[in-house]
Every structure is written in structure tokens, then in C-alpha cells.
Amino acid sequence: MNQIKVTNAATLVAKDSIIAKGESKDCVVYAMASSFDLPYDEAHQVVKEKFNREDKKGTMSWSIYSKMKDMADTQESINGKFIREIVSRPTKTYHLHGKDIERKNRVSTFIKEHNQGTYLILTSNHALTIKDGEMIDNITKGSAKAFVTRAFRVEPVEG
């Protein structure tokens, strides 16, 4: 079985951040930072303004989905990137005992099927980034087994 490459988002985007040292429940900030190539402090401000996140409190899933959908519809850019596509509740069909069965995708399955490009991933209570088959997450263990509820493809603005 292939091992999933995991990068700790904290070392990637927050190593010089004073704000990050005092934060908690900030996986959406890390996911935005690593998906849109922002420093932690800039991503912190974006999440605070766009998703109404309060310091040291988590971000509501419905708020993330609603604003990300608005950003996709209006082609709003953050750091020269925008949401190209929204994948809701991805599934995979397996053939078991003569029947086709739809199963929800886990993060690990999503990575295998989407190993090119950048995706901001939401699970039931967490957010992380998949970038060219690599998982970028502030929690380095366990996230690969979670079910994907939404995936937002992030791409550079063309032209």
C-alpha cells in the first residue's frame, strides 16, 4: 500500500507567526493558508473576515461552504487564486458480491483519485489541503481516514 505524504501545515505556513502560537481550533486558517499560498497571519485575517471566525474558536462548516460557493460563483480571487470547482460528498463505486456499492470517499481515497492540483478539503469537523497528492494538515495523524464532505479545487486565475 502506498504511503500518503503528509506535510505539517504549521511548519509550512506558520513558523514565524505570533498569532498562530496563541490560536486553537484553526484548521481552516491552515487550510486556507496552504491552499491559497498565504502566510498564516494573512489567512487568519481572510478567515476572520470572510467566514466570521472568532479568535480561538472554530469555523462553522455551513459558513465555509456558503462563502466558498459565493467565491466560486463570483470568481473572487485570493492571492491570485480562485475556487474552480466544488465536489460535494464524493463517492466511489465498489463491486462487492455481485453488486455495485457506493461508498463515501475517505481523504486517502480522494488523494489517490485527485493526485494533481490543489484542493481545500472539509471533513465533518476538520479542514486540510491536498496539493498534488500530498496532504498538508496541521494534524499529522488520523485525517486520512476521515470522510470528505466537500472539496474545493483551487486554481490560479488565468490571464
* pLDDT reported for residue 51: 95
Look at residue 133 and tell me whether its pLDDT is greater than 90: yes
Look at residue 63 and tell me whether its pLDDT is greater than 50: yes
Q: Per the structure, how many domains does the chain have?
A: 1
Average pLDDT, the chain: 92
The residue range of the domain holding 13 is 6-156
Within a domain: residue 1?
no
Look at residue 1 and tell me whether its pLDDT is greater than 80: no
Residue 70 phi, psi (nearest 5)? -60, -45
* pLDDT reported for residue 2: 63
Within a domain: residue 151?
yes
User: What sections of 16-158 are H helices per DSSP?
Assistant: 18-21, 27-35, 40-51, 61-74, 107-113
* pLDDT reported for residue 102: 92
For 58-88, b/e burial (b = at least 16 CB within 10 A) is ebebeebbebbeebbeeeeebbebbbbeebe
* pLDDT reported for residue 123: 95
Q: Which residues pair with 103 in a beta bridge?
A: 92
Within a domain: residue 124?
yes
Average pLDDT over residues 102-131: 94
Q: Which residues pair with 104 in a beta bridge?
A: 91
Within a domain: residue 78?
yes
